[in-house]
Amino acid sequence: MIDKHSRRINYLRISVTDLCNLRCVYCMPPHGTKLLDREEILSFEEILTIVKHGVSLRVNKIRLTGGEPLVRKGITSLIKHIADIDGIDDVAVTTNGVFVREFAMALKTSGLSRLNISLDTLRDDRFRDITRGGRLKDVLDGIEKILEVGFTGTKVNVVVMRGKNDDEIHDFFRYILERDIELRFIELMASGWKNMVEEDRFMPISEIMQKVEEIGELIPVKQRICGGPATIYKIKGALGSIGFISAVSKPFCNTCNRLRLTSDGRLRSCLLSGGEVDVKDILRSNLSKAELAEKLTNAFVKVTTMKPTIHSGKSNAVMHQIGG
């Protein structure tokens, strides 16, 4: 699908659950949020119907997110079914990493292509504080395990927050010296819980880059067009690389190739703005095969045309439902 700004849409990010085992300060309030009724959540069969339909419209990349995707029962079987679809070239997962050690081998054999792990600090006490109760060791062990079972292209996503973890940029750099990982610094975004995210915690990528440049010269890595939202660099002597994602200060909307599917079945044009179509309604309307195909095509096309030229930067998006 090509949208009105000539962006080729071939990537679908799917939130498979609104449940999460953590309560990160920028994503959820301390007590969690009102959960969706379980019958509102798309079944695996429904998700697969949407994916197959996407493939018929030239979608070839899928990312599973959440909530925490690894808390959804049977997740590796869903991954295997998606990876087995003709036309799918890449199935990835974004996870908080807590259960990755336990799942590493099953994820590998399911046909998963890659993992992005969210990790905002390398200090125990801060990890507990930012995630409201998580254990850093679980995530660090998980990362070692996925490297051990042979995953490549692993990314570690760090949301940088002024006064919380911005003094760890050098420590993160040391972490990738001997690990083949793409470390990605991400700007803090306002979300549905924006009153929990104090504005003065925001740190623009330009400032984060300056801090990295104190360590060494950033050597730009040649990237494919639509290769992803990060600008990637190598630093001499490091096995890993460093990426910067400036979703707020310098949005990458002009190269955005993605649509999103929420855990309760809304096909969305953008994380922050644009519009959405309720495909769960379509899936649950007892339509004939031909009618279903026609309505789903219309939904994909409609959402594609709703993609904004550039997002508004702020929204009431509920990250753990849409999948950040």
Q: Which residues bind ligand SAM (CB under 6 A)?
A: 20, 26-27, 65-66, 68, 94-96, 118, 157, 159, 186, 188-189, 191, 197, 319-320, 323-324
Alpha helices in the chain (DSSP H): 44-56, 75-83, 100-110, 124-131, 136-148, 169-177, 205-213, 279-283, 289-305, 319-322
- Spatial separation of the C-alpha atoms in residues 53 and 287, rounded to whole Å: 15
Compute the CA torsion angle 120, 80, 266, 153 (nearest 10 deg).
Answer: 30
According to the binding rule CB under 6 A, does residue 157 interact with ligand SF4? no
Nearer to ligand SAM, 118 or 273 (CB): 118
According to the binding rule CB under 6 A, does residue 27 interact with ligand SF4? yes
Q: Which of 91, 183, 186, 188 is nearest to 143 (CA)?
A: 183
User: Applying CB under 6 A, which part among 55-63, 64-72, 163-171, 294-302 lies near ligand SF4?
Assistant: 64-72
According to the binding rule CB under 6 A, does residue 136 interact with ligand SF4? no
Nearer to ligand SF4, 145 or 320 (CB): 320
Token representation of residue 268: 């969305």
- Spatial separation of the C-alpha atoms in residues 159 and 37, rounded to whole Å: 30
Instruction: Please say whether the beta carbons of 104 and 95 come within 8 A.
Output: no
Site for ligand SF4 in 175-204 (CB under 6 A): none
Residue 274 binds what, of ligand SF4, ligand SAM, none (CB under 5 to 8 Å, by partner type)?
none
According to the binding rule CB under 6 A, does residue 169 interact with ligand SF4? no
Site for ligand SF4 in 214-233 (CB under 6 A): none
Binding site for ligand SF4 (CB under 6 A): 20, 22-24, 27-28, 66-68, 96, 118, 319-320
